[in-house]
Amino acid sequence: MKQKLEPRVVIVGAGFGGLYAARTLARFPVQLTLLDRKNHHVFQPLLYQVATAGLSPADISAPIRWVLRRYRNVEVLLAEVIGFDLDAHQVRIGDGYELAYDYLVIAAGASHAYFGHEEWETVAPGLKSIEDALEIRNRVLLAFEVAERQAALTGQHPVLTLIVIGGGPTGVEMAGTLAEITHTALAQDFRAIDPKRARILLIEGGPRILPTYPEDLSQSAQRQLQKLGVEVLTSALVTDVQAGSVKVGSNSIRADVTVWAAGVAASPLGRSLAVPVDRAGRVLVSSDLSIPGHSEVFVIGDLAAFRTEEGKMLPGVAPVAIQQGHAVARNIGRDLKGQPRAPFHYVDKGSLATIGRAAAVADFGKIHISGRIAWLAWLFIHIFFLIGFRNRFIVLFQWAWSYFTYQRGVRLITGEPKLARTGDLETSNRAKRA
C-alpha cells in the first residue's frame, strides 16, 4: 500500500451501487474518479413513469457531478469504459486513454436480454434508460395519434393493442399504468377513437406474475391488474416478436406497441474480467464483493452474483446495490486503517411492486399488504429516496396533480416520428439507436 499519495479509487457506473459507493468513499482520504457513459444518475424505479408520460426525465434524474459537487476529492468523468488491465491496475476508456487505480469498483449494471433474439429489440424496446423511456412514451402516444388519424380519415381502425412481455415488477408496473392512462388521461381527448377500448396485455412465460413474490401477492397483483382492465396471460411463451404482432405459442396477436420486460443481461464488462460468471453474465463475487485473485477489485449491484450464507442469490434491485456500495466503501476504509474486511450482509427490508393508481403489493416478510396502503408505502419510500430536494418536491406535486385530476402532464411526442400507419410505429429516436 502506498502511504505517501492518497490511494486512487475508480468507480465504473453511477447507478445506485456506484453512486452510493462514491458518497461513502468520498469521506475517506482517497482520490476518487467516477466514470459513467451518461452525465446523469437515473432513479430507475420511476422510469416507467417517464415511459407513461407522468414525469419528465429531469424529475427522476440528476447530473452525477451535481450530486457529488460538495466532495472536492471526487472527479466525475463522462467516459465509456471498454475494458480493464487487472495486472497493470488500469481502466481502459475510449480514445486510447487509460486510468490507473489502486482500488476498482465495477458497478456497470445490466441491460435487456432477448435470449438470442436480439432482432426483437428494435420492435420491443426495454426500459433501462431515459432514452428507452422516451422511446416507449413516443410509441404509445403515437399509436393513439395514428389510430385517431386513420379513424378520422377512413372511418375505421383496428382496436389498439399494447403488449407488455414479462410479468416481473417492471412489466406489472408498465401494464397497470398503461391501462390507467388509456382509461383516464387519454379518455376525453380523442374524437374518432375511444382510448378506453384499447387492449392491454401482460404476457408472462411462467405460471404466475411477480414470481419472486409470495404466491398470495402474485394473485392479488393479478386481480388488481385485471380490475384496471389488463388481460394477464401466464404460462404463455412468446415465440416471435415482429413489427405489428407478437406470437404466443402458435397464436399471433396484433400489437400496436410492444414493450419488453422479460429479462436482463449483465454488462459485458463482467465477462471481460475473465473470472467466473453465472448464466446471465454476472460476476461471482467473494463474501467481501471482491473478485477471485484481485482483492482490490470489487463488483457490485446488478453486475454481481452474490450468494448469501443461506445459499440464496440476491436479486438485481436497488436496495442490494445501495447496501453493496456502502459495504465496499467501508471495506476500502478498513483497508486504509489496516483493519480486517467485513463480509457483506444484505438486510432485506421487504419488496414493493406498484401496479397503478392506488394499487400495489408489498412483501415485508411475514406481513403481506395489497392495494391502497401498499401503494402509499411505495409512494413515500420512492419519493424519499429520490436524489435532491428539488426532484422530490416536483415529483410529489406532479403526482398529487395527476392523482386528483387524472391528467398526465408530459404527453409529448418528440424526435421525428414517422407518420406510418398502425402496426408500423417506429420513431427515429429508436431508429438512430438501432
For residue 360, the minimal CB distance to a second copy (Å) is 25
Decide if 121 is catalytic: no
For residue 384, the minimal CB distance to a second copy (Å) is 19
In the bound state with a second copy, the residue whose beta carbon lies nearer, of 237 and 431, is 431
Q: Which candidate in 173, 180, 296, 426 is catalytic?
A: 173
In the bound state with a second copy, the residue whose beta carbon lies nearer, of 19 and 410, is 410
Contact 318, 353 (CB under 8 A): no
For residue 157, the minimal CB distance to a second copy (Å) is 13
For residue 403, the minimal CB distance to a second copy (Å) is 13
Q: Interface with a second copy by CB under 8 A: which residues?
A: 33, 38-40, 56-59, 61, 63, 65-66, 69, 72, 74-80, 94-95, 97, 99, 130-131, 134, 141-142, 145-146, 148-149, 152-153, 188-192, 390-391, 393-394, 397-398, 401, 407, 409-416, 419, 421, 428-429, 431-433
For residue 329, the minimal CB distance to a second copy (Å) is 20
In the bound state with a second copy, the residue whose beta carbon lies nearer, of 153 and 313, is 153
In the bound state with a second copy, the residue whose beta carbon lies nearer, of 143 and 232, is 143
In the bound state with a second copy, the residue whose beta carbon lies nearer, of 63 and 315, is 63
Residues identified as active-site: 173
